[in-house]
Amino acid sequence: MTVPSGPASAEVPAVRCRSLGVSFGTVQALHDISLDLAAGRIHALVGQNGAGKTTLAKVLGGLQAPDNGTVCIAGNQIPPGDVRAAKSAGLAMVHQHFSLPPSFTVAEALELTAARPESHSVYRRTELYRRWQNEVAEVGGTNVLATRIRDLPVETRQSLEIVRALVSEARILLLDEPTALLTPAATDTLFERLRGLRDDGVTILIVLHKLREVAAVADTVSVLRDGKLVLGPSEISGVSQGQLSDAIVGPAPDTDRAIAVEAATDVEQQLLLELVRVSSRESAFEPGLASIDLTVEAREIVGIAGVEGNGQRSLVSVIAGLSAVTEGSVLLGGEEVTRAPPARRRLRGLRLVPFDRNSEGISRSAPLWLNQSALRLIGRRRQFPLISLRQYKRQASEAMDLWRVRYNTVAQPAESLSGGNVQRLVLSRELASGLEVLVAAQPTRGLDFSATNFVRSSLRGLRDAGAGVLLVSSDLDELFELSDRLLVMYGGSIVARFNAPYDRQAVGDAMTGALR
């Protein structure tokens, strides 16, 4: 141990923890973690889904009391699980799950969490708006201030969470997968801002999945595997990508078995999904569809590229049957379903991976097995009314095991899963037998890289088995790698169509509307 000499503050790590342990039932989420984070640097934290990253961040932020071990922030020991103490020691957090109060407007929420307590306790609305205008301008325009948090699209919510942490004037920032919902451009902006903060002496711990991003922003990197700290914090320059991924995956790497899904396509039908001049009404944050023509045939993956908020959400919900079509028609497997309810489409083999897995994909408080079995509940009116729960639970656990969801019991609520495992749960339900057409919105969002590869090879497997896939993604690399054809959406219409090999420049231009 070094004896502090001279200006002591330079020597004291911003965050120091000693032998932290946390367990949930039989799951040991953190195991004997000791870690020093030097002040004024950007520290990356990586690891597979369920490795314990979120748990560690929560313990450091005082949101989760450890079973044993201690946490010191800027040299002061924090009582276990004391959020206030952590906050007043200058720590702020950006959560993987959103934490802003859903029924507050954006301005109210920001005011509530702001660092400087204003002297008066009564606010005038105009004053509030004026105060927060600049902060949110880059997030979604100033008109976003009066919107309730729950009505915002997930991406905007994520950006707001980041804004909130940045305005809190914290000296230590913990960011849990902040880039999962951001576009590459927004990610660059965020990283730029983080570097600026670091140069001002702020200490940052950031949870990331993409090693590319780690290399881009971090000064040091630490790796968690199965709740243990297996690497670091090490200087980023001293670790190769290979070493890093070995540390993440461990000595017995997953053999990448793609999931064998039999698609239920009959060979006759070629055209699985067809949209003919479909228009729909705009929603609060998205243009409606403007006369879209689109087909997905058997044995192909059609990619949808576009900057978030250009109608992708409208497209997915029109296909799902959740927003009304004002003009045109939607056909599934040759059958007109323009006005058909969602159940009808599900029964025709439509499977969906929605944008917002936590509110649209799962029911957070419902048990895992019920979340997993949801599709078994529709359209079986002629069957014997009583069901065997044991069978439902068994089938659910088999499907989840296939997707390597990390869970304790099938009865635990879905909210107790780690972020990436929630996505796996959704995939285990949707990418199962009966699938003819899959509409997948950001299917690899929040997944670690082996799971990402797993999903990508599964999508290919689905296509080879005869299914059609519509892949909506903001990750161009993913789209280029998987798509047989690529369509670009801008302002609610499809402005360009590409065939492989793709020209990144041309696709990028189309996405920004340069082709119009």
Residue nearest to ligand ATP (CB): 420
Among 216, 366, 476, 506, binds other proteins (CB under 8 A): 366
Helix (H, G, I), strand (E, B) or coil at 122: coil
Tell me if 179 contacts ligand ATP by CB under 6 A.
no
CB of 354 to other proteins, least distance (A): 6
Report how far residue 315's alpha carbon sits from residue 10's, in angstroms, rounded to the nearest whole number.
53
Which burial class, exposed, middle or buried, applies to 246 when counting CB atoms under 10 A from its CB (0-12, 13-18, 19+)?
Answer: middle
Query: Count of residues binding ligand ATP (CB under 6 A)?
Result: 20
Residue 409 corresponds to which tokens in the numbers above? 């019991």
- Using the rule CB under 6 A, which residue among 13, 90, 420, 443 binds ligand ATP? 420
Among 69, 75, 80, 102, binds other proteins (CB under 8 A): 102
Report the C-alpha gap between 476 and 496 in whole angstroms.
15
Restricted to residues 302-361, the positions that interact with other proteins (CB under 8 A) are 320, 322, 341-347, 352, 354, 359-361
47 binds ligand ATP per the rule CB under 6 A: yes
396/386 Cα distance (integer angstroms): 18
Per rule CB under 6 A, is residue 27 in the interface with ligand ATP? yes
CB 50 within 8 A of CB 421: yes
Amino acid at 455: V
- Report which secondary-structure segment, H or E, holds 103: none
Contact flags string 70-109 toward ligand ATP, x per CB under 6 A:
--------------------------x-------------
What residue ranges bind Mg ion (CB under 5 A)?
A: 54, 96, 418-419
Nearest-angstrom CA–CA distance, 399 and 406: 12
- Pick the closer one to ligand ATP by CB: 53 or 198: 53
**β-strands 300-305, 485-490 pairing:** parallel
Closer to other proteins by Cβ: residue 185 or 377 = 377
Q: Find where tokens 């899904």 sit.
A: 261
Tell the burial category of 429 from Cβ atoms under 10 Å away from its Cβ (0-12, 13-18, 19+).
buried
**Which two three-digit tokens encode residue 153?**
């699209």
Query: Does residue 53 interact with ligand ATP by CB under 6 A?
Result: yes
Tell whether residue 232 is a contact of ligand ATP (CB under 6 A). Answer: no
**Nearest to Mg ion of 204, 459 (CB atom):** 204
Q: Binding pattern to other proteins, positions 407-426, x when CB under 8 A?
A: --------x-----------
Can you list the pairs that 31-34 forms with residues at least 24 positions away whose Cβ atoms lie under 8 Å? 31/226, 31/227, 31/228, 32/69, 32/228, 33/69, 33/224, 33/227, 33/228, 33/229, 34/69, 34/229
Contacts with ligand ATP, residue ranges (CB under 6 A): 24, 27, 29, 47, 49-55, 96, 406, 408, 416-421
In the complex, which residues of this chain contact other proteins (CB under 8 A)? Answer: 102-103, 150, 320, 322, 341-347, 352, 354, 359-366, 370, 373-380, 385-387, 389, 415
